[in-house]
Chain A
């Protein structure tokens, strides 16, 4: 009788613990440019592993500040490699968890078909009132845009016409509502299944700015959280990589 009870208890414990791992949640901070692929990956991740990813999107700099000030994020997908490296140096991450999950591409984009040529000459012609970029101080795509314009020798002439989005999503919104004629966004924002969603674009050659290496890291709050590790593993899977690639990212 007693052994039966122990058996039952053991079974129950097993059931509860497996339930706990199955239904675990992971809180993820994700750079705004990775919004669309992350939503897709999170849906697949939940289907395949049972874990649920709760995602917060924002500018990398802002997310960093939130993490430093006690935000409950367990995994961080940044838009650069500097911010995760900084968190690592400051002891806010799980050691050796950092890796590059995608290499971003910068694109000059307009809603109007035929407006942006495939050489970016529209920048030199300069017949526009507003060019949208993401805040170069906090958003790596904004910094890459400034770097590109500097290399082209156009920064001084175009800077007065900058409208700055708080993050890359707001920058996209300025362009898509046509309040800005064109702007620099992430290729992932205007690409689905390897196809441009509309308008006209110039994919900025990689030699005009530093490589946008986007790193992910498990944060201190994700230590020993199976769901956090599972998400990192999932990001490295072929399935996730295919999704990431379909939005125009490289590896």
Chain B
């Protein structure tokens, strides 16, 4: 039912979403922790920056990424200096773009989970002579588990659903940057509606199942 090209797009999309989700859980956790705990005047600024992709059109993000990661942009100059070449049209470029794009979907549920835990369990842990790292891994992580699951699901699903940014910086290269959403767009443009239906229907089903899992999880912390 799926052609090789379509299968490659599906595989690439899953790979991208997996890599991005892992990176976001690693990068997003300290950011969310800081946002949940800090009394700094910068809290509002950082929180707003993280949330920007929620409201910005993907074209804005895609445009700036194309410029900054290009050969004359600051990021492009750095990556060239490091001998990595330029990032647009590469899988690494898509990963970086998606990390920005899906950041709020991971950071916000984590932040809410951390805020819900409050300071009390950590204070108790401290009186039992647990150092802060110890307390984080043995107390906070288990308590925030539902938040981590929500964050991972949303980050993964949102990356799978990404389109505009990829279209602008991807260059539509098979097995490197041609993800499912772009492949669907290509099929529709080329009037290959049957192929488009298979992929689009699959995406619809996938997204529904993801949200169904999310909303019917026992003891799920609601997001938003």
Contact = CB atoms under 8 A, between A and B. Distances in A.
Partners in one complex: yes
Determine the main DSSP class of B at the interface with A.
Answer: loop
B57 to A, nearest CB: 16
Interface in A119-176: 129-130, 132, 135, 137-138, 162-166, 170, 173-174
Contact of A137 (B71, B89, B189): B189
B172 A135 contact: yes
A163 B93 CA distance: 14
B188 interface: yes
A129 B85 contact: yes
Interface residues of A, number: 23
Contacts of B89: 130, 163, 174, 179-180
B190 to A, nearest CB: 4
Given A130-B171, A166-B172, A179-B71, A61 B86 contact: no
B193 to A, nearest CB: 9
Nearest to A173: B66
Interface in A45-96: 59, 61-62, 64-65
Interface in B154-200: 167-169, 171-173, 185-186, 188-191
Interface residues of B, number: 22
B146 interface: no
B37 interface: no
Contacts of B167: 166
A170 B66 CA distance: 12
Contact of A178 (B72, B189, B191): B72
Nearest to B66: A177
Given A62-B189, A64-B191, A162 B71 contact: no
B70 A135 contact: no
Nearest to B191: A65
Nearest to A159: B174
B67 A177 contact: yes
A174 B71 contact: no
Given A130-B89, A163-B89, A180-B89, A174 B171 contact: yes
A160 B185 CA distance: 21
Contacts of B28: none
A65 B69 CA distance: 33
A170 B164 CA distance: 13
Most buried by B among A61, A165, A179: A179
Contacts of A165: 171-172
B109 interface: no
A65 B191 CA distance: 7
15 contacts: A59-B189, A61-B189, A61-B190, A61-B191, A130-B171, A135-B189, A137-B189, A138-B190, A163-B173, A164-B173, A165-B172, A166-B167, A166-B172, A166-B185, A174-B88
Interface of A: 59, 61-62, 64-65, 129-130, 132, 135, 137-138, 162-166, 170, 173-174, 177-180
> Which 3 interchain pairs have the tightest Cβ spacing?
A163-B171, A164-B172, A137-B190
